[in-house]
Structure 1
């Protein structure tokens, strides 16, 4: 079944997290907006700098000049060239501003539509969906660690994005009718989709000879980085640049060497094995992660299939989001 949650989380929120992360960095580097570099912690009221600042009607003394000074603060130097806080903000806005603004507007529109239609996401629904996202990780805590490391999302951001996705799905599928007969027929025609299965996330280094593979294995045993050695020694041009990352493959994938998959299935995460004779040479493999899905049955299976079929019949999410924004007269004011 399609894993909408993974694709949507990575694609939509990566830009949001980039902006949030940058703001955090700015705050950590410059903890007080009222301090200039090399200034004392306390600014004397009535200093020469403050006296020279004009006060606009309805504005507190020094407010405009303080903001302007902060914007022009030099936050980095490259040779004689300076980069100011204003330069950073403008570049962030140029690269990510539209995407972040659209996400915020869509979230507001979803909230309005959910309230108008009396739709909500229960704790049980969110927990059940989270279980599917966590499948294959050692623990829920490890899942959140990976999300933080790979896409910069905190636990709170993951859960918030999940809630909005589930709300949007409810908005989308409510007007699409899928009969019980259609659900039963789909389950009967696609039993393999709902069986429990294991997928292996592997890296490999492919060499021409067994001697070369053993030499590389010796370097790995000595503490060398797997990805670095893959880029240097692997003859597989499709994976070498990505550190030998093959990606997720089924434990019984018929397109991969049977001995290699059998060996990989016995490995613990981060363990290596090889050399293994495969088509094209000799492989050294490393297990990155193992993902195991559970078999769905009963009402949960029928509900999942019904939602999947409805989503497949629905318009694309960007078009549906546009329609929702139009319904609530969403416009940019600047």
Structure 2
């Protein structure tokens, strides 16, 4: 296995904390580097609503361990200290994006949003499955996901508007990179990873005797990330560079519901099941041209972080101490 599961877990944890933070009562904020304090009326800092209920009580006990309690205030302070600047910046940048889009007459069409959602959901089987996974793993609601898509697309439009791309450049790029735009095959894989070949053969024997794959994965797989999902890896590109080539080659020769193994990995051995296959057709026509235009313009444009700083300055962003 070539994926960095530790990094993925850290990213998920950070995202969960940041999302939780935005819904909490923010009792204080710290200045962001490069921004000056100013009057509340001129600030780009949004008002943060206070939710009703016991959770708004800063001294409300939210957890206890060994008789020692943790209050809402302590939890909020800790989250603010770790993630406050990052979350506040996101909120401020979104306000600046809205203002710049309005001033420049930039809008999004339903087709643009739907196409970007389809790109984001690619590999999850369906948009419904994508929303479900994002909710379970990151705590993101469908509304939050769609907001993220909206602001990402608007920021890209702001970024690339000064970097025109000609039709000739688009056609030349398509001719030189045909592999990027053809149809692709995806495998819906499940696996159980063990430390030794003998353990993998034992798991394989139990599966052949009618054992439940998800249950065996939960009990025996040393890949903790997938084990808690019954060994389910979701949809994977047939040439995904983050998976062992031996696994993908084995999957290519399986029929749906067939099992293969043991397959040697860097950290052990795997038994896999092909739960399904999916073929995706490539972009064509105007969608293809727009996708390439966007890609080439983004490659030429200034870093998005740099443009975000410019927008914050343009709209008088300030942090209240």
1:91 is aligned to 2:78:
yes
Question: Within 1, Cα distance between the matches of 2:99 and 2:13?
Answer: 24
Question: Within 1, Cα distance between the matches of 2:90 and 2:263?
Answer: 49
Shift of 1:204: 4.5
Aligned to 1:157: 144
1:169 is aligned to 2:156:
yes
Q: What SS is found at the alignment partner of 2:261?
A: strand
Counting only pairs closer than 5 Å after superposition, residues 296-311 of structure 1 correspond to structure 2 as 296-311=283-298
Structure with greater Cα Rg: 1
The aligned length equals 273
Deviation per CA, 1:260-294: give whole Å up to 9, x if none: 12245x33xxx561324558886411457766432
Identify the match of residue 32 of structure 1 among 49, 53, 64: 53
**8 Å CA contact 1:73, 1:84 repeated in 2:** yes
1:205 is aligned to 2:196:
no
Aligned to 1:79: 66
Moved more, 241-250 or 86-95: 241-250
Aligned to 2:111: 124
Shift of 1:31: 6.9
Counting only pairs closer than 5 Å after superposition, residues 208-223 of structure 1 correspond to structure 2 as 208-209=196-197, 211-219=198-206, 221-223=210-212
Q: What SS is found at the alignment partner of 1:330?
A: coil
Q: Normalising to structure 2: TM-score of the pair? A: 0.72
**8 Å CA contact 1:183, 1:305 repeated in 2:** yes
Question: Within 2, Cα distance between the matches of 1:302 and 1:187?
Answer: 9
Mark the CA change 1:128 to 1:242 in structure 2 (over 3 Å): closer, same or farther. closer
**8 Å CA contact 2:203, 2:216 repeated in 1:** no
Q: Normalising to structure 1: TM-score of the pair? A: 0.70
Q: What SS is found at the alignment partner of 2:185?
A: strand
Moved more, 272-281 or 221-230: 272-281
Question: Within 1, Cα distance between the matches of 2:240 and 2:16?
Answer: 31
Shift of 1:19: 2.3
Mark the CA change 1:171 to 1:189 in structure 2 (over 3 Å): closer, same or farther. same
Aligned to 1:325: 312
Q: What SS is found at the alignment partner of 1:200?
A: strand
Counting only pairs closer than 5 Å after superposition, residues 272-283 of structure 1 correspond to structure 2 as 273-276=259-262, 283=270
Gaps of 5+ in 2: 1-10, 26-50
Shift of 1:178: 1.4
1:193 is aligned to 2:180:
yes
Aligned to 1:55: none
RMSD: 3.4
Shift of 1:196: 1.0
Shift of 1:116: 0.5
Gaps of 5+ in 1: 1-8, 24-29, 35-66, 232-239
